Amino acid sequence: MSAINYVTKETFEQMKIELQRMKSVDRPAASKAIAEAKEKGDLKENAEYDAAKEAQGLLEARISQMEGVLANTRILDETTIDTSKVSILTKVQMTNLNTKKQVTYQIVSESEADLKLGKISVTSPIGKGLLGKKIGEIAEVQAPAGIIKFKIEHISV
């Protein structure tokens, strides 16, 4: 995974804290679970040992994946974002021309996307359709239900 991941400073710090927790808390706990399972006898028929080893393997994979993501992460400074057009980390207020409903989304990286919080991924169909659009322009987004048209009303940080 070599794609650049753009995030806010807060998200980057949260990611570093999560990685540190996995290394300093979860990793020793997994090792301890393996040691305790080893003490229970024959390893060939020890389901607890097998489960502990599998959990450790999954943890190591998550740590490795998080390290890769962090290595390819770039912090975006919100004060330098151009709000004349839709870009990553901008908040876009728009009107769905099919339903006449107004919605506001913030365009974020895949790792920060959370629709409940109004954050959509830059790689999502709507995110891709909005990128580069200016106030007053119409964005046509290909969705499973057909083409959705959004009129850009306001762009902010």
Extended strands (E) in 20-145: 73-75, 91-96, 102-108, 119-121, 138-143
Give the residue among 143, 142, 140 at the shortest CA–CA distance from 151.
140
The contacts found for 113-121 with CB under 8 angstroms, 24 or more apart, are none
Name the band, by pLDDT with cuts 50, 70 and 90, for residue 2.
low
Has this prediction a pTM greater than 0.85?
A: no
- Domains of the chain with bracketed CATH: 5-75 (1.10.287.180), 80-156 (3.10.50.30)
Q: What digits encode the pLDDT tens for the residues 43-79?
A: 677 788 888 889 999 999 999 999 998 898 888 777 7
Distance CA 78, CA 144 (A): 33
Query: What's residue 92's pLDDT?
Result: 95
How far apart (Å, rounded) are the C-alpha atoms in residues 9 and 75?
6
Span 16-42, pLDDT tens digits = 999 999 999 999 999 998 888 888 777
Nearest to 157 by CA among 85, 50, 103: 85
> Where residue 1 falls among pLDDT bands split at 50, 70, 90?
very low
Q: Give the containing element (helix H, strand E) for 55.
A: helix 47-71
